[in-house]
């Protein structure tokens, strides 16, 4: 996986932690059977459903305190 982001390549412990917890969960869509997978979404870290592509959470600039 190549991560070429430079704008958002900062410390983001809170966001990463949230994403780690969400990854592997089932999709938020009741009609979907997909699994949430960590991947960039529009240049930000996110988790999106690997089936329908729904991003339940996106992390932009996260203040870590
Ligand atoms: Zn889905």
Report pLDDT digits (tens) over 12-56. 457 788 888 889 999 988 999 999 999 887 888 889 999 999 887
Report how far residue 59's alpha carbon sits from residue 13's, in angstroms, rounded to the nearest whole number: 11
The whole domain housing 25 covers: 13-56
Residue 2 inside a domain? The answer is no
Interior CA angle at 56 toward 15 and 18, to 5°?
A: 25
Ligand 1 centroid to 40 CA: how many Å? Answer: 16
Q: Residue 25 C-alpha to ligand 1 middle, in angstroms?
A: 10
Phi, psi (degrees; rounded to nearest 5) at 11: -65, 130
What pLDDT does residue 12 have? 47
Q: Is the pLDDT of residue 5 over 90?
A: no
Task: Let me know if residue 22 belongs to a domain.
Answer: yes
Q: What's the Rg (C-alpha) of the chain?
A: 12
Integer Cα distance of 51 and 29 in angstroms: 10
For ligand 1, the distance from its centroid to the CA atom of residue 48, given in whole angstroms, is: 8
CA of 2 to the centre of ligand 1 (A): 24
63 pLDDT band, cuts 50/70/90, is low
38 or 60, greater pLDDT: 38
What confidence score (pLDDT) does residue 17 get?
Answer: 83
Q: Is residue 3 part of a domain?
A: no
């Amino acid at each position: 996986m190549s991560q070429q982001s430079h704008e958002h390549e900062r410390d983001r412990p809170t966001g990463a932690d949230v994403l780690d917890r969400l990854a592997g969960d089932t999709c938020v869509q009741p009609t979907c059977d997909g699994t949430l997978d960590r991947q960039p979404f529009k240049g930000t870290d996110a988790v999106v459903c690997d089936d329908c592509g729904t991003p339940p959470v996106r992390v932009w600039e996260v203040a870590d305190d």
